[in-house]
Each structure stands twice: as C-alpha cells, then as structure tokens.
Amino acid sequence: MANSNLYKGSLQTIILKLLNENDKMYGYEITQKVKRITDNELNITEGALYPALHKLEAEGLLEVEVEKVDNRIRKYYRLTEPGQKETINRLQELEDFIKNMQVIVNSRLA
C-alpha cells in the first residue's frame, strides 16, 4: 500500500499538516517524517513530493526559505497565513471523508 492512489490524493493535505506541526521543513525531511510516522507504510517519492510542493507554493499556501547548510543550498517550506487556513479546511474535509467512508465500509450493503 506504500504508493496507493488513496495516499496520492491526500499528499497535499499530508504536506500541509506536517508543515503546520513543524513550522518549516525541507523536502527530504518531509519524506522521512512520513516514513517514520507510518512505520514505512507510506513512501513519498521525490517525483510526487516536489510537484506537490511547487503547486502549493504557486497557490500561495507555502513560502520558500533558502539556507546554506554544510555548503549545500536547502529549501525550507513553511505555511503562509492562507496556507494555515487552508490546512484547517482540508483536514476537516479529510476527517469528514474518513467518517463517511467508515460508515460505508462498516455498513451492510442492501
């Protein structure tokens, strides 16, 4: 289930939630945090992560801060004020969706 379409559809929400909880993060840090908290069940590839980060940035939900770390340039992503509001909205939508899915999965279909 590591690269399920269900996860792919939730990638932006996952990113927003992590940034909401961690102030700022860089791409590799995001992938490793997701692996750690899901016990390696979810593996976010760079090919999926960076387009999602760029899309969120283009929408004005993220801002980028560039720092030099160990002679390397590292891009840190953080939520903008609209990004913080959008995170709350998306998490509520996801919670509602999960509740509805639980009702459907746990009900007997007639």
Q: What angle do CA 48, 92, 82 make, to 5 degrees?
A: 70
Q: In DSSP terms, which residues pair with 25 in a beta bridge?
A: 77
The per-residue pLDDT of the chain, averaged, comes to 90
pLDDT in tens, 4-23: 666 667 899 999 999 999 99
pLDDT in tens, 34-86: 999 999 988 899 999 999 999 999 999 999 999 998 999 999 999 999 999 99
- Report the distance separating Cα 58 and Cα 98, nearest Å: 28
Q: What angle do CA 12, 67, 88 make, to 5 degrees?
A: 25
Quote the pTM value. Answer: 0.85
The sheet with strand 72-79 has its strands ordered as: 24-26, 72-79, 62-69
The continuous run of DSSP H or E covering 102 comes out as helix 81-106
